[in-house]
């Protein structure tokens, strides 16, 4: 396929080549010039070049290019290089003396004709605008990038702020929940209410104090729920709350269970963002108990005051004064009660030192009170204040802790008592002297009396002994008279009466002798089994028991006593025979013998169901010849119980009776229980 020319009608290019070239350069939009010679003289410039240089062709032609080119330093060198080397060169140069950078772009090539260099073509372009645009674009880019950077930075800042806010918010939420938890932990009731009085928050303390749960309380009107009674008009409280932001005071309220309480309420006003009252936070403490204690303290203080003012004892509070060696040297009266002056004789003591009021006051008192102040140990003593001429009974105790130098003193003037005691002591000494003298006299007289009694007893004994012979003679002769002498009935009757009287007298004398003997015969004591002794006694008196068909009960076991056998048998027989003898007519005698041991003493009981004894005679019957009945009613001499008493007492025991008339008698004797061990006193001293 062959290539066709585009326009066959156009003239051939070579027809007028110089003209064509000129036409090309003349219409080229690019500034073009040619130079020749070593000084590079402009030989041709196209209109675009003239426009660029803002000079006419005439002005330009013939001038050295160095004169007109604005950026020419490097350009000249390069032109020389094109001349020498005959090669094209391109170059861009900056015009430095412009306020903003201007660039000149040069394209230079040699014009060779017939192998001879005839000049150099220069195509010049000012790149300032382009560059300016580039710079503007760059600047815009730069600003854009800066903006972007700023935006990124702002975004990052915003993110960081958001993060901070989120963290802050989380912290806040934590803080709030922690505060809510802390509010719940508070012992106080904490209530938040809105300005209409509706409860918004009700902590655990409030639940505990009032008894309503949070669910029950929230939404209720606080003062109606708690039946609050205010110390002043509620209007005034609200005004103060609005004015100061807080109010504190005591309220009376009622719990869910109806119990009335006193509380200390601290109200704080909560305002919204615009500063308007939004609600009230109330912190409430139950002070019912505190008020009760306060009241009790007040009452106690009042009681103390009353006591202080009314007691007879002097009372004072003193402040001890010590020297630099902690030695108590004086004291000052801080307070004295009305009786103080009466007790001490010191008027208006309050505020004064004792050394001012009583010159030469004894140091004993300083030391005494000083010790109380230093040790805190209370002191009670009676001592003489010689300088005051009085005796005092004091009780001193420290007021307050170890640092306190205050001592409270209860003081009584006992001068009179001491004087009385002194005279009493003297009297006592005298009395005791007299008593000693008397005692000696009594001992003397007792000895003498004892001697007399002994001689009387011995006389008695001798007389009784001597009386027996004539009595026996009377008894024998009257018996012989009845038998051997012919007597009529009257004679016989008299003889028999004399015989019975003699018998009775004989019995009396026998009993008296037995009684008398108890005073001087020795009583060898030994361990005797009461069971065996009672058994022997019953055996001895068996005929009598059988005759009366009496019922005898011995309650075993019977303990062992320290006694002498013969008198013990005498005692047992006397008590047993009395129990049988003083029976109620028609009633079978019943006797119980039992014993009990208490604190080393054996009490043996002989109980009967007989006639009994009236209380007023119960002691008397233990005397000699004491009888409550005639011998016709109940025979006897009235010596039996006297013998029992003396014998028991000689063995170191006692005797007694419990009885009621008509209800039987319970006679008892007490003897020492037999001691285990080798030692046993053989006899007791002979009674007087």
Q: Which residues bind ligand ADP (CB under 6 A)?
A: 574, 578-579, 582, 608, 610-611, 613, 621, 626-629, 636-642, 665
Rounded alpha-carbon distances, angstroms, from residue 386 to 31, 412, 413, 424, 554: 145, 15, 13, 21, 76
Contacts with 382 (C-beta within 8 Å, 6 or more apart), sequence order: 391, 392, 393, 394, 414, 418
Which of 415, 626 has the CB closer to ligand ADP? Answer: 626
Q: Which value, to the nearest 10 degrees, does the dihedral of the CA atoms of residues 221, 226, 232, 234 take?
A: 0
Which of 108, 579 has the CB closer to ligand ADP? Answer: 579
Which of 186, 507 has the CB closer to ligand ADP? Answer: 507
The Cα–Cα gap between 164 and 156 comes to 12
Tokens of 190: 């904490």
Q: Work out how close the CB of 492 gets to ligand ADP at its nearest, in angstroms, rounded to a whole number.
A: 29
Cross-strand partners of 538: none
Q: Work out how close the CB of 523 gets to ligand ADP at its nearest, in angstroms, rounded to a whole number.
A: 20
Sign of CA dihedral 605, 611, 612, 613: negative
The Cα–Cα gap between 183 and 190 comes to 7
Which of 328, 640 has the CB closer to ligand ADP? Answer: 640
Nearest to 28 by CA among 122, 112, 98: 122
Cβ-contact 278, 195 below 8 angstroms: yes
Q: Work out how close the CB of 533 gets to ligand ADP at its nearest, in angstroms, rounded to a whole number.
A: 19
Which of 256, 584 has the CB closer to ligand ADP? Answer: 584
In terms of phi and psi (left: phi > 0; alpha: psi -120 to 50; beta: otherwise), the region of 454 is alpha
Which of 487, 628 has the CB closer to ligand ADP? Answer: 628
Q: Work out how close the CB of 569 gets to ligand ADP at its nearest, in angstroms, rounded to a whole number.
A: 15
Which of 252, 584 has the CB closer to ligand ADP? Answer: 584
Q: Work out how close the CB of 631 gets to ligand ADP at its nearest, in angstroms, rounded to a whole number.
A: 8
The Cα–Cα gap between 517 and 524 comes to 14
Which of 314, 589 has the CB closer to ligand ADP? Answer: 589
Q: Work out how close the CB of 576 gets to ligand ADP at its nearest, in angstroms, rounded to a whole number.
A: 9
In terms of phi and psi (left: phi > 0; alpha: psi -120 to 50; beta: otherwise), the region of 625 is left
Task: Give the three-state DSSP class for 110.
Answer: strand
Q: Work out how close the CB of 606 gets to ligand ADP at its nearest, in angstroms, rounded to a whole number.
A: 8
Which of 407, 537 has the CB closer to ligand ADP? Answer: 537
Residue with the two structure tokens 């708690």 = 226
Q: Work out how close the CB of 511 gets to ligand ADP at its nearest, in angstroms, rounded to a whole number.
A: 8
Q: Work out how close the CB of 420 gets to ligand ADP at its nearest, in angstroms, rounded to a whole number.
A: 53
Cβ-contact 625, 638 below 8 angstroms: yes
């Amino acid at each position: 396929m062959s290539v066709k020319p585009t326009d066959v009608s156009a003239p051939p290019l070579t027809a007028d080549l110089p003209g064509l070239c000129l036409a090309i350069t003349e219409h080229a939009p690019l500034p073009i010039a040619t130079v020749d010679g070593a000084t590079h003289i402009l030989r041709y410039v196209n209109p675009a070049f003239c426009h660029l240089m803002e000079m006419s062709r005439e002005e330009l032609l013939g001038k050295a290019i160095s004169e007109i080119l604005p950026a020419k330093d490097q350009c000249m060198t390069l032109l020389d290089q094109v001349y020498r080397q005959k090669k094209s060169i391109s170059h861009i140069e900056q015009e430095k003396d412009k306020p903003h950078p201007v660039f000149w772009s040069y394209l230079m090539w040699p014009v060779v004709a017939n192998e001879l260099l005839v000049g150099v073509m220069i195509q010049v372009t000012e790149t300032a605008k382009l560059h300016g645009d580039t710079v503007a674009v760059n600047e815009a880019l730069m600003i854009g990038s800066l903006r972007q950077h700023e935006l990124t930075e702002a975004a990052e800042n915003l993110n960081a702020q958001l993060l901070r806010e989120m963290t802050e918010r989380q912290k806040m939420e934590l803080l709030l929940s922690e505060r809510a938890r802390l509010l719940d932990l508070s012992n106080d009731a904490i209530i938040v209410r809105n300005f209409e009085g509706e409860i918004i928050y009700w902590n655990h303390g409030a639940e505990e104090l009032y008894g309503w749960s949070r669910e029950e309380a929230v939404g209720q009107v606080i003062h109606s729920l708690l039946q609050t009674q205010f110390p002043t008009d509620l209007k005034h409280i609200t005004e103060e709350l609005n004015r100061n932001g807080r109010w504190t005071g005591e309220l009376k309220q009622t719990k869910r269970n109806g119990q009335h309480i006193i509380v200390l309420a601290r109200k704080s006003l909560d305002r919204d963002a615009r500063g308007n009252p939004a609600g009230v936070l109330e912190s409430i403490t139950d002070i019912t108990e505190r008020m009760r204690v306060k009241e009790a303290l007040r009452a106690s203080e009042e009681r103390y005051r009353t006591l202080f003012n009314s007691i007879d004892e002097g009372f004072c509070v003193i402040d001890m004064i010590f020297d630099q060696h902690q030695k108590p040297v004086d004291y000052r009266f801080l307070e004295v009660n009305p009786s103080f002056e009466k007790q001490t004789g010191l008027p208006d003591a309050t505020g004064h030192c004792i050394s001012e009021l009583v010159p030469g006051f004894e140091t004993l008192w300083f030391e005494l009170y000083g010790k109380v102040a230093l040790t805190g140990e209370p002191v009670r003593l009676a001592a003489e204040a010689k300088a005051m001429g009085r005796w005092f009974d004091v009780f001193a105790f420290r007021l307050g802790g170890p640092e306190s130098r205050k001592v409270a003193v209860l003081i009584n003037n006992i001068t009179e008592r001491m004087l009385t005691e002194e005279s009493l002591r003297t009297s006592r000494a005298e009395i005791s002297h007299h008593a000693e003298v008397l005692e000696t006299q009594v001992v003397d007289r007792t000895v003498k009396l004892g001697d007399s009694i002994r001689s009387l007893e011995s006389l008695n004994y001798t007389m009784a002994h001597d009386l027996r012979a004539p009595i026996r003679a009377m008894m024998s002769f009257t018996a012989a008279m009845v038998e051997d002498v012919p007597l009529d009935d009257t004679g016989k009757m008299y003889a028999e009466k004399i015989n019975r009287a003699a018998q009775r007298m004989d019995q009396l004398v026998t009993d008296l002798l037995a009684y008398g003997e108890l005073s001087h015969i020795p009583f060898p004591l030994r361990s005797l089994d009461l069971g065996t002794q009672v058994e022997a006694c019953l055996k001895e008196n068996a005929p009598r028991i059988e005759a009366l068909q009496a019922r005898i009960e011995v309650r075993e076991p019977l303990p062992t006593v320290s006694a002498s056998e013969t008198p013990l048998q005498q005692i047992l027989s006397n008590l047993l025979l009395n129990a049988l003898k003083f029976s109620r007519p028609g009633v079978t005698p019943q006797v119980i013998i039992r014993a009990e041991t208490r604190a080393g003493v054996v009490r043996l009981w002989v109980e009967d169901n007989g006639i009994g004894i009236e209380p007023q005679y119960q002691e008397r019957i233990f005397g000699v010849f004491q009888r409550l009945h005639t011998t016709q009613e109940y025979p006897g001499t009235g010596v039996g119980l006297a013998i029992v008493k003396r014998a028991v007492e000689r063995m170191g025991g006692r005797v007694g009776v419990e009885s009621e008339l008509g209800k039987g008698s319970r006679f008892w004797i007490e003897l020492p229980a037999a001691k285990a061990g080798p030692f046993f006193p053989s006899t007791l001293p002979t009674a007087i």
